[in-house]
Amino acid sequence: MSIRKQWYITLMHTDSSKTVSLSISKRIGSIFIFFMVFVLLAFSSGAFYVWKKHSDLAQLSKLSRENVLLREELDSFSTQMDSLLIKIRIMEEWEDNMRQERRLRVVSPDVRALGSGGESFENLTFLAFCEELHVIFNENLNKLNFVTAKTALTYATHFDLLVSLQTRESLYRTTPSIWPTFGRITSAYGYRLHPVFRHKIFHAGIDIANDRGTPVYATADGTVSFAGRSGPSGNLIRIEHASGYQTRYAHLERIFVNVGEPVRKGQIIASVGMSGVSTGYHLHYEIFVVARRTTVNPTSFFNLREDQINIAHSIPIGNR
């Protein structure tokens, strides 16, 4: 059996019955096919290379635009943090002024500085891609950490200020610090010759003389523990105060409060009279320290400011 060593190619025109036959050797045909396959592969590789290059250029252009936008956003972010730092500084100045006005301890500048000037934290995320972006990113990161710490500190110092003011206000409200009535002091605190019994005796309060019916005021917030008749004191009111004091108002004409009733500083609770053992219309006023079971001189409490009251011991500065 013979093997054909030639290939035959027949070409036919569509509009006629004519055909053209070509014959080529099998070796030349194989070379031609190999050449065509090589050309096709080379063209495909070239086309893929061109497509890949174009795709890489498009991706590079996109990354370049994203890089620009990222830098712009970082710059905007940095500007916003600068604005926040300015606002925090304004709040710090307000707090310092408030503390100075209320005679409270001012926060140290070293504490507010948060140890600035030390070694900065460095994040290496962008170092392998762009050194400039790495620097910008870390500047913003360290600024963000500083703003976060400043915000936490300012919140803490503001909260401390709020608690201090609330504590001082509460203590001021519950500490006797105003005159209980209008008038003149006719008998001071301490030993005196009793106007009725005519012998020397300790006077545990002060006497303030005025006309009958003059209003009597609660000198601090508290709760009425007694309101009624009490021997030589006549009509008497006792008020318990959360600061640890008890105030007493004696020789009253009329009583306007009841036992268990809460009263506010400056509230009218009675009127001046001369009930009990008395030689004239006046108010006998006492301040009793419950824990020490002793009285103190009421005049040292008159017209006290908030900052003049010792918060730790609830005793006016003048009596420490």
Q: What is the pLDDT of residues 210-262, one digit of tens each?
A: 999 999 999 999 999 999 999 999 999 999 999 999 999 999 999 999 999 99
Q: Give the Cα separation of 278 and 282 in Å (integer).
A: 8
Pick from 96-110, 190-204, 245-259, 283-297: least confident: 190-204
CA distances from 238 to 227, 262, 298 (A): 7, 12, 15
pLDDT (tens digit per residue) in 4-60: 566 666 666 666 666 666 666 777 777 878 878 888 888 888 778 777 777 777 677
Domain boundaries 184-319, corresponding CATH code? 2.70.70.10
Residue 122 has pLDDT above 90, yes or no: no
Q: Is the pLDDT of residue 117 over 60?
A: no
Q: Across the chain, where does the E strand assignment appear?
A: 6-12, 19-25, 184-187, 190-193, 200-203, 206-209, 215-217, 222-229, 235-240, 245-255, 262-263, 268-272, 282-289, 294-296, 309-310, 315-316
Neighbours of 172 (CB within 10 A): 20
Strands 282-289 and 206-209: antiparallel
Q: Which residue has the tokens 């000198």?
A: 219
Q: What is the mean pLDDT of the chain?
A: 83
Tell me the C-alpha distance between 5 and 118, whole Å. 89
The answer to whether the CB of 250 falls within 8 A of the CB of 300 is no
